[in-house]
Amino acid sequence: MSIPVYASNAKDLPKPLADKCPAVVAQFEKAYGSKPDFVSRSPGRVNLIGEHIDYADFSVLPLAIDVDMLCAVKALDEKNPSITLTNADARFAQRKFDLPLDGSFVTIDPSVSDWSNYFKCGLHVAVDFLKKVAPTKFENAPVKGLQVFCQGNVPTGSGLSSSAAFICAVALAVIRVNMGEDYQVSKKDLTRITVVAEHLVGVNNGGMDQAASVCGEEDHALYVEFKPELKATPFKFPALKNTDIQFVIANTLVVSNKQETGPENYNLRVVEVVAAANILAKKYGVVLKHIGPSNLNKGNLRDFMNAYYAKYMNVPEPWNGDVVTGIERLNKMLELVEETFGAKQGGYTVDEAAADLGISSDEFTKEYLTSFPVRFQVLKIYQRAKHVYSESLRVLDALKVMTGSSFEKDEDFFKTFGGLMNQSQASCDKLYNCSCPEIDRICEIALQNGSAGSRLTGAGWGGCTVHLVPAEKVESVKKALVDQYYKVKFPQITEQELEDAIIVSKPALGSCVYTL
């Protein structure tokens, strides 16, 4: 499917474009003295279910949300191979840089924190794409220069993928300018090229953010698969009789410094789930064939599931993402977790983990504990493995609710889907230990005031929460969060900060172009 293009006078113009694009066009005119050629747009995203399972290659269930990045763009003539960037937010100063005349890539210095670096990431992957689809035109010549006006309302640092929204909007704009308006940019291509963009500034993301931003559809969640290839399949929420489905996204305003907390949080979880996969493989006599940096080059829990089914169930083909098959296999994996780790719920010492792997403690330390810094008393292998398999199962159960269930009463849907979100939060809290008191408090308040399902979204340890709320209860949830959380924890909080902290959204449209 191609990225949709909407004319400004189109009868089917989506509301986000009708509401926002005319103002961005006017601001472009004010900044540059002429009209732009078009506006490219990409939204932020929120993950509904499927936390800390992407680095085990299990699928997740995000959706695009109403906050977005808009880039009004005007192409310059060949005599002016330069980029000028202006931002609606006065905190981000105007930037201008020249494009290399030989067609080489613009330099990105990840050691310097500047908003233009994210533009350059989008530019880089777009130029790389252009060189491959039209090498005779772009191999040794610069792409067209641009004037760009950027306006975004995805809160930065919130875990809602403001950087992915920016990069996707930029890459889309650069391709359109240089390939012409008749060229149809496919969602698959835009997702594929932008997935690696943030690697240029040292962020090793996995693809969910870009897939959700590019492929979002109104009233749909996205089943994002990482194996055998990255793809996003839209699934529509059921049409309810008496209410609308809304999501309230509430920021804890607590920031977890990944560099400081990584050894006890994210880094340690990677070690624990990789150790779990390899202990299971040792016990059941299978070989893990997956190689990749996110799992210490030792395979992961999905690899073990595939290897187990190949050996014991005579099913040589890896799981292909099918819902029914996945539910069966994940339930079996949970049985094996109980059999293998149930007696060691208190945790593993290094010596105990090494013994179960059949290696020395020194070998375990070298192979598992030296790739990045970790700190721990014991390895919670049972808890982490159970979370990964049960959370992966909840994603599939959620799809089953969306596609295979009919609900006589609206509240039946909210109870069923919301229950899965609540189970996810409990697992993140009790098994993965990635919640925090602020997340727990926000979820408690929301559930008491109308939310059907409340959970953290993103890595956890702070950041954002997401709440499934019937439309008529949105205001009561918002008011309770303001009165009982934000004004209690942050007495000096301003109205603008409150507005930024709470977002209300339906599942939203993904990347698109607005033409004048």
Q: Which residues are catalytic?
A: 209
CA-based nearest residue to 68, from 38, 45, 87, 42: 42
Q: Are 263 and 375 in contact (CB under 8 A)?
A: yes
Q: Which two tokens stand for residue 352?
A: 């105990």
Cα separations in angstroms, 363 against 26, 272, 300, 309, 366: 63, 16, 19, 29, 5
Q: Are 508 and 43 in contact (CB under 8 A)?
A: yes
Which residue reads 């997956």 in tokens?
Answer: 290
Hey, how many other C-beta atoms are within 10 angstroms of the C-beta on 284?
15
CA-based nearest residue to 467, from 480, 479, 451: 451
Q: How far apart are CA 349 and CA 241, in angstroms?
A: 54
Strands 512-515 and 231-236: unpaired
Buried/exposed 228-242: b ≥16 CB within 10 Å, e otherwise: eebbbebbebbebee
Q: How far apart are CA 412 and CA 140, in angstroms?
A: 60
Residue type at 345 in one-letter notation? Q
Q: How far apart are CA 63 and CA 516, in angstroms?
A: 28
State the DSSP string of 241-292: SS--EEEEEEE------HHHHTTTTHHHHHHHHHHHHHHHHHHHT-------
3-class DSSP state of 489: helix
Beta-bridge mates of residue 46: 63
Q: What is the CA radius of gyration of the chain?
A: 24
Q: How far apart are CA 104 and CA 124, in angstroms?
A: 9
Identify the helix (H) or strand (E) that includes residue 338.
Answer: helix 323-341
